[in-house]
Structure 1
């Protein structure tokens, strides 16, 4: 029954995107709204295109896995094949409260100096906004949250510490160079603090670069999203840093459907991996990161398949992954530069030069036992 079972699944996994005033124009919040999409939604969940969780189960263990369980998939399929029954209104759950800072009021809330205007139409726009912190002393960031100003237009966002000291705060160009990642936001993404004593340094006077992906709507809109920062009370004993594993420049032949790109990185000192984020545009089919430890042990950190370049969350490990000094991190990606790739910016496909980071690793240094 929709009112007893299916709507609760949608609340847990879907309504952050599929509700009124959110990034899609397909709402699943009520029976009347969801019923016309039942057969399409069944196909989406069976093909595991929705929710867009790209980490293959069994390869890495992560916090806040928002993919559907097999039981939830079976419930949705049974509901559709059983004639999409509504059920009794008395079984409806309480509506979820939307909005509000998930971890309470942040220690610092930042907003752009002016609103961002997005024209009406179809397609996407990307803007880079620089936010001044005006901090008088170094602070240690333990969590980041983001509030979209216009939920129907903001698709996702990422944040980092500004590298450029010449960028103006009203410069919305796409030069989003950042020294260190602060995090990402997608609708429905859980917000949590870093592990105990782990934090990311935000230097005094630092500025934040916020890259927002907008999806155009039927009408022109204005957006003024905000970023909330949560600080540690004391100096962190385990500073968090991010490294980008970038592939050497290569040429992808036109028509290549599974072009293999590999990058390796050897740990110069012992560390623990807190999170990983695959980063591939827009030719990616899959990306796999594997740790080869000096003792011969091998561990797949993540395998992201059916990759969506417009949906690039951070995947936080349930437990920090130990990477002793000398561990070799190998990242292999398969790229599709054929006409069959719907995301290919060239039609027809042509040979392209590719030079991009394949993934980011967030690390803390540790002392090895002797």
Structure 2
């Protein structure tokens, strides 16, 4: 009998080790991992550079608390804000923590409480982040949520324009809704958001927990749109598998987070920063990002060429989805696992494809061969 709470629906395979895109279970069976720990293991499992960074830093200093200067934080912050309009960074341990920080910062800076978010969004499971999330299944059973979140239909310009007024502190959204179905912000919706923020002085928070750090082929997914956020939240791929979260903000927000207004015990510790710095040294290289874009183009082309026409392909970079119409994807995902391919859903009707950013074309071809067998 397990001593663990049953809040996770566990898969059958018990994964015990991995290298690159390949993982192995307790029976010795190997799988192509196209989940990446849900967009986390950006440089693949047991990446030698990350292993070395953890080893080297672990022999110096793991944790000292934010009461002291941590030089690694400054290094990572500078890499994250370089050549952007951002000026400052805050480090924590997860995407939910980053989004909680963003919500607090937006409310405190504006003196307003009203935040607009969108249906099918996912921002985390802590109370503030959960309240911002536009999915009832995440809310159910937990009593009253944090007040003053208005959840609107995604990509609905008319609904947005009808809701905007002087009470709104911030608009908060994902560039691609990962958990909600691999739904991308349309150009028209991006333009409407930009106009609303400019006209009313509303802060724009973009949750890049899943899309950031190269996942969509650029450093941040917002860079592929006209949007210019005041706040961006990060996690997942930033640590390449190590728990790291972060929030970037523009210069005018600096004084709002004065000493004592917000904090974290473990966030930005030396071990986490050594890993994040290593990840960024790889992912933020222009050639690396270009390679991600090329892999994405190849992957999408092969998917469209090999899958029946009743399936749709959506998303950007190496955050892709296969829309299966009204069909439930859970049986497809279970069959794929039996055949040696690990997948994850995005809502009930979309298969999400999240390989490491280091995946090879040969591994993509293997995955497509399995998908073709299952979906045909």
TM-score (norm 1): 0.27
Task: Indicate the structure with greater helix content.
Answer: 2
* Higher relative contact order (CA closer than 8 Å, sequence separation 6+): 2
TM-score (norm 2): 0.26
Task: Indicate the structure with greater strand content.
Answer: 1
Highest CA radius of gyration, 1 or 2? 1
